[in-house]
């Protein structure tokens, strides 16, 4: 049962992540990729690629939040860039990469497909996790869903 390492990602400029390692160890947090005012916008993707390459070490399966609607054009473009990098790195390492819809994750985690950030955070705390923020809570929800699918 505990033979694989799974990485769950809530993709974004603030990327939440949670990793399940053989034996049941769970780690996670939030990575920030927002460029400073003096930096070019593309630095976000360079940082995401560098972090993701390290995060994928030893990983056998990836699950990520599949967002279909964004708050604006910039958010949509940023998400598309992050997603392209994630999928490229997974395919070059032969790591299966599974999208999970936002509503599916929220319903699985809280029982409500339209749960807000506070509900996601509260559920993570209720389950005993010491979380960083809502992005981390989302990643834990994705990981929980992934574990159900895999085991």
Q: For residues 33 and 41, what is the distance between their CA atoms, to the nearest angstrom?
A: 10
pLDDT value for 104: 98
Q: For residues 5 and 133, what is the distance between their CA atoms, to the nearest angstrom?
A: 23
Let me know: does 121 contact 114? Beta carbons within 8 Å. no
**Segments of the chain assigned E as strands:** 6-10, 14-21, 25-32, 61-66, 97-101
Let me know: does 59 contact 6? Beta carbons within 8 Å. yes
pLDDT tens figures, 97-150 = 999 999 999 999 999 999 999 999 999 999 999 999 999 999 999 999 999 999
Q: Which of 35, 106, 25 is closest to 65 using CA atoms?
A: 106
pLDDT tens figures, 1-54 = 468 999 999 999 999 999 999 989 999 999 999 999 999 989 999 999 999 999
The contacts of residue 59 (CB under 8 Å, 6+ apart) are 5, 6, 7, 19, 95
Give the global pTM.
0.95
pLDDT tens figures, 53-66 = 999 999 999 999 99
**Which token pair is 53?**
């390459």
């Amino acid at each position: 049962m505990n033979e694989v390492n799974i990485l769950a990602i809530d993709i974004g400029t603030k990327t939440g992540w949670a990793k399940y390692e053989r034996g049941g160890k769970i780690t996670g947090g939030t990575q920030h990729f927002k460029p400073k005012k003096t930096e070019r916008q593309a630095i976000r993707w360079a940082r995401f690629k560098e972090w993701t390459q390290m995060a994928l070490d030893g990983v056998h399966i990836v699950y990520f939040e599949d967002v279909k609607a964004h708050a604006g054009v910039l958010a949509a473009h940023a998400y598309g860039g992050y997603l392209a990098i994630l999928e490229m790195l997974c395919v070059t390492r032969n790591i299966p990469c599974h999208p999970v819809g936002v509503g599916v994750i929220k319903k699985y985690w809280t029982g409500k497909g339209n749960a807000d950030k506070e509900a996601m955070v509260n559920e993570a705390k209720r389950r005993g996790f010491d979380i960083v923020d809502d992005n981390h809570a989302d990643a834990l929800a994705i990981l929980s869903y992934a574990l159900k699918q895999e085991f």
